Amino acid sequence: MAWTAPKTWTSSTTPTAAELNTYLRNNMLEMAPAKATTPLSQFAATGPNAIAQRNIKYNYIATSETTSSTSFANLSTTGPSVTVTTAGSCLVVWGAEIQIASNTDAARMSVECSGATSVAASDLRSILVWYGFAGTNYAQVSQAVLFSSLNPGTHTFTCKYRMTSGTGTFSRRRIAVFPQ
Amino acid sequence: MAWSAPMTAVANTAFTAAQFNTYVRDNLLETAPAKATTAGGYFVGAGTNSLVERFWTTNGVTTSQSTTSTSYTDLSTNGPSVTVATSARALVILTARMRNNTASEYAAASFTVSGDSSIAASDDNALTFQTASSFQDSQASILIPMSALTPGSNIFTMKYRATGGTATFERRRITVLPY
């Protein structure tokens, strides 16, 4: 059922069952309480006079794993990743504890989007950690990016990793997606 | 039209056209489906019994530019900036790749709010990175909740400074989630 702009009632007319169904029942079925099914959800417009429930998704991998790949790749445990439904944009927040052992190496953590829209992991949308000290350096950081102009539909956001050189260690990896 | 607390029906009393218009038509017009205009909008309280549609807004400048200014200033390319309708609250997300060529000095990226509000850039509302050598570099974000905006149309513009040396900024982005 779709939303219908509520009619203006006039005196001395009897609302019909069809009118009550159209202007009351069907319109109420388009409202948030009728569409709410799960906790930790919010409601977003999907177009004129239409809303949908959107579920905030979160995933976390504690395991410490390494990479020496100079192009964005998975670690031994892929991810973390989440799959959401969106009408066009998502706020994606990700982070990790990142360890590098050389003052000439830099570590990056980005996010790949797949599904209804493909957006490759890239340096433009990545966490960068690069320290000039000799020896092991740590940082626990996050980045938040608004992925806009997505095609309506299902999308999977997956964390990816790379080094400029040397080996980096990533632990406590997390991603949260707020779809609209 | 405004929301009216729904009346309580009473047996054996006629339900008038005026009541239908007030308690059914006008109240339905205050619900989210009635206010939804564009995909990607979301709904927040605008006051007692009132909703408004809001939109996330983002803008970025990728070019690498530098400053030696120790007070917040523009880079060669101003911004980025976004203009959004807000209540007193908004969540501001700043992202940048930053470095400083001098050991122990900071690079800092903050923002001003102009338009209906007037809020200066400050270290309290900043993404910062301090280097201990010339080979240090960071690309990260900070999320800053704002709760004292003047409701209306507000312009959020990124500003930059160094504590000393030369601070360099690239892949600068500001995202505002208005409430």
> What is the model's pTM?
0.84
With beta carbons under 8 A apart, name residues in chain A contacting B37: 45, 48
The structure tokens listed for B3 are 């929301």
CA pair distance B144, B92, nearest whole angstrom = 5
CA pair distance A135, A66, nearest whole angstrom = 17
pLDDT 10s digits, B48-64: 888 899 999 999 999 99
Cis check: omega of the bond before A152, within 30 degrees of 0:
no
**Phi and psi, residue A148, nearest 5°:** -110, 170
With beta carbons under 8 A apart, name residues in chain B contacting A89: 40, 56
**Phi and psi, residue B106, nearest 5°:** -100, 155
pLDDT by position in tens, chain A (length 180): 799 999 999 998 888 889 888 999 999 999 998 888 887 688 999 999 999 998 889 999 999 999 999 999 999 999 999 999 998 899 999 999 999 878 788 999 999 999 999 999 999 999 998 876 666 677 888 999 999 889 999 999 999 999 999 999 999 999 999 998
B41 Cβ under 8 Å from any chain A Cβ: yes
Q: Quick check: B17 and A32 CB within 8 A? A: no
CA pair distance A112, B8, nearest whole angstrom = 53
B177 Cβ under 8 Å from any chain A Cβ: yes
For B42-71, b/e burial (b = at least 16 CB within 10 A) is: bbbeeeeeebbbbbbbbbbbeeeebbeeee
Instruction: Give the best residue of A124, A133, A177 to mutate against chain B (max B CB count within 10 A).
Output: A124
Distance from CA of A22 to the nearest CA of B (A): 12
Nearest to B84 by CA among B126, B108, B117, B56: B56
ipTM for the whole complex:
0.74
Instruction: Please check whether residue A91 is in contact with residue B42, taking contact to mean a CB–CB distance below 8 angstroms.
Output: no
pLDDT 10s digits, B66-112: 999 999 999 999 999 999 999 999 999 999 999 998 888 889 999 99
Q: Residues near B37 by Cβ (< 8 Å), separated by ≥ 6?
A: A45, A48, B53
With beta carbons under 8 A apart, name residues in chain A contacting B138: 128-130, 139, 141
Q: Quick check: A128 and B137 CB within 8 A? A: yes
CA pair distance B11, B97, nearest whole angstrom = 68
pLDDT of residue B11: 86
Distance from CA of B83 to the nearest CA of A (A): 16
pLDDT of residue A135: 63
Distance from CA of B155 to the nearest CA of A (A): 18
Q: Quick check: A48 and B140 CB within 8 A? A: no
Instruction: Give the best residue of A14, A42, A51, A123 to mutate against chain B (max B CB count within 10 A).
Output: A51
Q: Quick check: B20 and A24 CB within 8 A? A: no
Out of B43, B131, B137, closest to residue A43 by CB: B43
Instruction: Please check whether residue B179 is in contact with residue B148, taking contact to mean a CB–CB distance below 8 angstroms.
Output: no
**Phi and psi, residue B22, nearest 5°:** -70, -50
Mean pLDDT over the full length of chain B: 92
Residues of chain B above pLDDT 70, percent: 98
Average pLDDT over residues B112-124: 96
In chain A, what is the greatest distance between 2 CA atoms, to the nearest angstrom? Answer: 87
pLDDT 10s digits, B160-175: 999 999 999 999 999 9
pLDDT of residue A68: 96
